[in-house]
Amino acid sequence: MAAWQFSYYSAKVAATIEAWPTGIRASFLRIIEAMHEHGPDLGLPHTRAMGGGLFEVRAKGREGIGRAFYCTVTDQRIVILHAFTRKTEQTPKRELDTARARLKETKA
């Protein structure tokens, strides 16, 4: 089976993840590596379906929690749509709205 490929919605999304603290970024990269080999739906605690074709990577480090929303497109490709570090118990609506808008754009 062919490996899954990754791309970022924009350079800004990639830069956001690059700027994450080391522990969170390391967790994200481990999860991405597993997704590269096993596909986009690893399940909890690593990934979670958000509905409507939107998923999240759940990266956790000593410094806090990072979230990256993604979707899948044809040819076994995963697009990272939006990323942020979580500061509250619930995902902020603004962050989710941004990811959903980018999902519509990507799937159009």
Regarding the domain with residue range 5-107, which homologous superfamily does it belong to in the CATH classification? Answer: RelE-like (3.30.2310.20)
* Overall residue count recorded for the chain in this entry: 108
State the pairing for strand pair 54-61/77-86: unpaired
What is the C-alpha to C-alpha distance for residues 46 and 98, in angstroms, rounded to an integer?
A: 21
Express each pLDDT in 34-47 by its tens digit.
Answer: 998 888 889 999 99
What is the C-alpha to C-alpha distance for residues 1 and 63, in angstroms, rounded to an integer?
A: 36
Read off the pTM: 0.91
Express each pLDDT in 75-90 by its tens digit.
Answer: 889 999 999 998 877 8
Q: Residue ranges of the domains in the chain?
A: 5-107
Find, among 21, 78, 23, the residue nearest to 55 by Cα: 78
